[in-house]
Amino acid sequence: MYVVTGVTGHTGSVAAETLLNAKVPVRVVVRDEAKGAQWKARGAEVAVASFDDPASMTRALSGATGAYVLLPPPGWGQTGLAANRAELTEKLLTALRDAAPAHTVFLSSVGAQHADKTGPIKTLHPIENALRASGKRVTFLRAAFFMENWGGSLAGALDSGALYYGIVADKKFAQVATKDIGLVAAKALLEPHASGVRVIELAGPEDLSLEDTVATISKLSGKSVKAVTVPTAAVAASLEGMGASKELAGWYAEMMDGINADHVAFEGKDAQFVRGSTTLETVLRAMITK
Ligand SMILES: NC(=O)c1ccc[n+]([C@@H]2O[C@H](COP(=O)([O-])OP(=O)(O)OC[C@H]3O[C@@H](n4cnc5c(N)ncnc54)[C@H](OP(=O)(O)O)[C@@H]3O)[C@@H](O)[C@H]2O)c1
C-alpha cells in the first residue's frame, strides 16, 4: 500500500495520480472526506487524517510500503512561526515513528542541509535530521524553487510591467515544476533504495534567472515585463503589506538572500541530481491563460 499525504496539493496530487496509473494500491490522506471522493472513484482508499492529530495520521500511514509525506506550509498570516513549526514537526515525526512505513519519501527543499539562513527551508532541516537519526529507510526529495511560486507575482507583474523580486536579476538558480516533483516522488516510492537515507536533489530542465523568467512572461503574454531586483528588506515590507506575518515575510527575504549568496543551493555530495522535463514556459502558460 502506497500512502500519499498532501493529495489535494500540487505535488501529492501528481504522486497519487502516477501511482494509480502504475496500478499499485494507493491510500490518499485528506483532512476533509469530501476531497477524497474523486480519488475513491479512481480506486484509491481514502483516509481522513491531519498532521495536527498524530493518532489519525498514524492510522493513515500504517501498513505503508511507501509513504509520501510533506510538512504542510504555514498560513500566510501565521505568527509564532518557530513554535508553530516545531509543534507540527513533532506531531509529524510522532506519526511517522508510530506508523513506521517501510519507506518514507519526504518532500524537502534545496538548502535543507543547512540549519539556518534559509528562510522557511530551515523548518525542513530538523525533520531531515530526525529521520536520518531514526535509521529508517527514507528518501529526502530536495526540490528546487517551485516554478508555481511565480503565480503570486504574475498579476502584479503584468499590470505594472515589472517583476519586483529580491533575487539578483541575472542570477541563474534552479526552478522546478511541481508536476515533476510528484512524478519523481512516485518513482522514488516505486523504486526504493535498500536502506538508510537517499537524497534526491531535483531541478527543472535548466537553471533560470529573474531575467529569463520575465522574458518568458513577456513572450507568453505579449506584454513587456522587466525584472527589477529590490533589496530583500523591501520585499519583506511588501509581503507584510500583502498580509504576511512579519516573521514569514522575514523568512522569505532570508531565503532570497540565501539564493543570492549560493547558500540556498544543492548540496551535491552523495545526492542523486535529477532534472525534470517540464519547462517554465509550460508552467507559466497554464497560469497566464487561466
Ligand atoms: N514553494 C517552494 O518553492 C518549495 C520548494 C521546496 C519545497 N517546498 C515544500 O513544499 C511543501 C508544499 O508542497 P505542495 O506545494 O505540494 O503542497 P500544497 O499544494 O501547498 O498543499 C498542501 C497540502 O497539505 C495538506 N495539508 C495542509 N495542512 C495539513 C494538515 N494539518 N494535515 C495534513 N495535511 C495538511 C493540504 O490539504 P488540505 O486540502 O486539507 O488543505 C494540501 O494537500 C512544503 O513543505 C514546502 O516546504 C516548497
pLDDT over 70, % of the chain: 100
Provide the pLDDT confidence category of residue 263 given band limits of 50, 70 and 90. Answer: very high
In this structure, what C-alpha cell is assigned to residue 15? Answer: 504522486
Mutate to test the pocket of ligand 1, among 10, 30, 70, 254 (most ligand atoms within 8 A of CB): 70
Centre of ligand 1 to C-alpha 226, Å, is 30
Provide the pLDDT confidence category of residue 287 given band limits of 50, 70 and 90. Answer: very high
CB atoms within 10 A of CB 50: 17
Closest CA to 18 of 146, 201, 189, 273: 189
pLDDT at 127: 98
Average pLDDT, the chain: 98
- List, for residues 201-259, the tens digit of each pLDDT value: 999 999 999 999 999 999 999 999 999 999 999 999 999 999 999 999 999 999 999 99
Centre of ligand 1 to C-alpha 71, Å, is 6
Place of cell 500511514: 61
| 25 has pLDDT over 80 | yes
Instruction: Kindly list the strands in the beta sheet with 2-4, ordered across the sheet, starting from the edge strand earlier in the chain.
Output: 45-48, 26-30, 2-4, 66-69, 104-109, 138-143, 197-203, 272-275
DSSP assignment string, 226-237:
EEEE--HHHHHH
Rounded to whole angstroms, the Cα distance separating 11 from 31 reads 16
Provide the pLDDT confidence category of residue 194 given band limits of 50, 70 and 90. Answer: very high
Residues framing ligand 1 (Cβ under 6 A): 5-12, 31-32, 35, 50-52, 70-73, 107, 109, 124, 143, 145-146, 149, 178
Mutate to test the pocket of ligand 1, among 8, 33, 110 (most ligand atoms within 8 A of CB): 8
| 290 has pLDDT over 80 | no
Centre of ligand 1 to C-alpha 8, Å, is 9
- Give the residue, by CA position, lying nearest to ligand 1 atom 21: 9
| 4 has pLDDT over 80 | yes
CB atoms within 10 A of CB 283: 24
Backbone φ, ψ for residue 187 (5° rounding): -60, -40
Are 26 and 20 a contacting pair, CB within 8 Å?
A: yes
Domain ranges of the chain: 2-288
pLDDT over 90, % of the chain: 99
Integer Rg of the chain from CA: 19
Rounded to whole angstroms, the Cα distance separating 81 from 132 reads 24
Arithmetic mean of pLDDT, 171-179? 98
Pick the atom of ligand 1 nearest to 51's CA: 32
Is domain 2-288 annotated with CATH 3.40.50.720? yes
- List, for residues 40-55, the tens digit of each pLDDT value: 999 999 999 999 999 9
- Give the residue, by CA position, lying nearest to ligand 1 atom 43: 6
- List, for residues 82-137, the tens digit of each pLDDT value: 999 999 999 999 999 999 999 999 999 999 999 999 999 999 999 999 999 999 99
User: What Cα–Cα distance (Å) separates residue 142 from each residue in 24, 93, 185, 288?
Assistant: 25, 18, 10, 27
Q: What share of the chain is helix, strand, coil (3-state, %, to 5)?
A: 45, 20, 35
Centre of ligand 1 to C-alpha 235, Å, is 23
